[in-house]
Amino acid sequence: MSRAALLARTATLAAAVAGLSACATANRLQGDVRPFDAPVAQYAEPAPQPVRAAPGPGDGGGSIYAGRSGKPMRLFQDNKASDIGDLLTIVLVESTSATTKANTAITKKTGVDMAAPTLAGQQVTLNGKSLLSASVEGGRDFAGNGNSAQSNQLQGQLTVRVVQDLGNGNLLVRGDKQLRLNQGDELVQVQGIVRRADIGSDNRVTSDRVADARIVYGGRGTLARSNAIGWLGRFFNSALFPY
């Protein structure tokens, strides 16, 4: 195969790989944003509930405190989320900071001296120098240090929906928000377990009170692409690169 044909085939292959990479990432939100994972067994989705007809004017049995949607109404009851389908506002107050510093120093020195043996009570010498004496010295030094610092902060609010009542005072909540901006899309996802006791009177709970929380923020569009590494750059930064 001629050199020109080989170069042409290489260029065609590179273009095909670039096209496939573009197709695979064109509709993907950057920032590890993906559909919610399937719930595990203890958090399985509840079976669909039959839709109840709205109560008519005479369905209250004459009571002035008739419940809504077939549920009894209590005289002393707040509006906090408690049932499947209820809405709850998560206040994002995520802030993490981590600093790691390590210093290591190793010094080792070894020395061995061997006295010159004698022959018939006399040292073996040549031109006045001992031939059989020996000494060994060795040393090793190592010094290393490393520093690492990372901080993250996420603030905002997101209204989620109760998808399961775990039966022990805990609620499984889930929700997302997608914003279409002039330079792309922004998406926030929140999923976790909330205690009823942690829900405030304003039907809000902070994200640091959410157990098994999965909070994801990412985007798609011009700004997201400008912060993403290209397919060839990802190869050189992957474990496949031998150097």
pTM over 0.75: no
Cα 181 to Cα 116: distance, rounded to the nearest angstrom: 87
More confident of the two residues 221 and 179? 179
Q: Mind listing the pLDDT tens digit for each residue in 38-88?
A: 444 444 455 555 544 545 555 555 555 555 555 555 556 667 888 899 999
H runs (alpha helix) in the chain: 3-25, 222-226, 231-236
AA identity, residue 195: R
The chain-wide mean pLDDT, for the chain, equals 73
pLDDT, position 127:
72
pLDDT, position 10:
60
Cα 242 to Cα 226: distance, rounded to the nearest angstrom: 27
Q: Mind listing the pLDDT tens digit for each residue in 110-168?
A: 877 766 666 666 776 767 677 666 677 888 888 888 888 888 888 889 999 999 998 88
The dihedral of CA 22, 26, 27, 29: what is its sign? positive
CB 163 within 8 A of CB 122: no
pLDDT, position 190:
92
Q: Which two tokens stand for residue 45?
A: 């989705």
More confident of the two residues 174 and 227? 174
- In angstroms, the first-to-last Cα distance of the chain is 30
AA identity, residue 10: T
